Amino acid sequence: SGGGDAPLQHPCPVCLDNEDDSGTCGMCSSCGQKFCGSCNVSDGIGSLDHCPTCRAVFRVSEHEDVRRLRYLLERPRGRHTPTAQNSLGNCYESGTGVDPDCAEAVRLYREAADQGNADAQCSLGLCY
């Protein structure tokens, strides 16, 4: 569960029991909703074709995924922004759906890391 009697800050929208922002969580690139690692498995969210929050198709081309992440970053900033920045940074670092651009990857990682995203902090460190 969420660790004692303290209310969860960001409960998973599927199970409402686990935090949605740690471990092996997943994120819908269309709406930015995150799901806890327990739900983001092959027999949970990973087995679905559509996001249970916005109903967008999960399995899209790499280019569509990048387009969706860019759109998320154009929207007003929210708690999902650092995850979207980190995910888009991963795309630029690996050349997934975009031409590889290490400078852009570092910029996105830094923005996400400055907002406390641990994955981005790790990725930023590995870039140096």
pLDDT reading at 15 higher than 90:
no
Q: Euclidean distance between the first and final Cα of the chain, in Å? A: 37
Cα dihedral sign for 78, 118, 19, 87? positive
Give CB contacts under 8 A, 24+ apart, made by 123-127: 123/86, 123/89, 123/90, 123/93, 127/93, 127/102
Tokens of 62: 């790499």
Which range is least confidently modeled, 3-7, 24-28, 97-101?
Answer: 3-7
Predicted confidence band of residue 52 (pLDDT cuts 50, 70, 90): confident
Predicted confidence band of residue 89 (pLDDT cuts 50, 70, 90): very high
Tokens of 97: 């759906």
Higher pLDDT among residues 110 and 24, named by residue: 110
Average pLDDT of span 21-48: 76
pLDDT reading at 42 higher than 70:
no
SS3 assignment, position 5: coil
Tokens of 44: 């949970």
Predicted confidence band of residue 2 (pLDDT cuts 50, 70, 90): very low
pTM given for the model: 0.79
pLDDT reading at 58 higher than 50:
yes
In angstroms, the Cα distances linking 88 to 40, 99, 116, 123 are 19, 12, 16, 12
Question: Which amino acid is it at 44?
Answer: G
pLDDT reading at 127 higher than 80:
yes
Tokens of 128: 């140096």
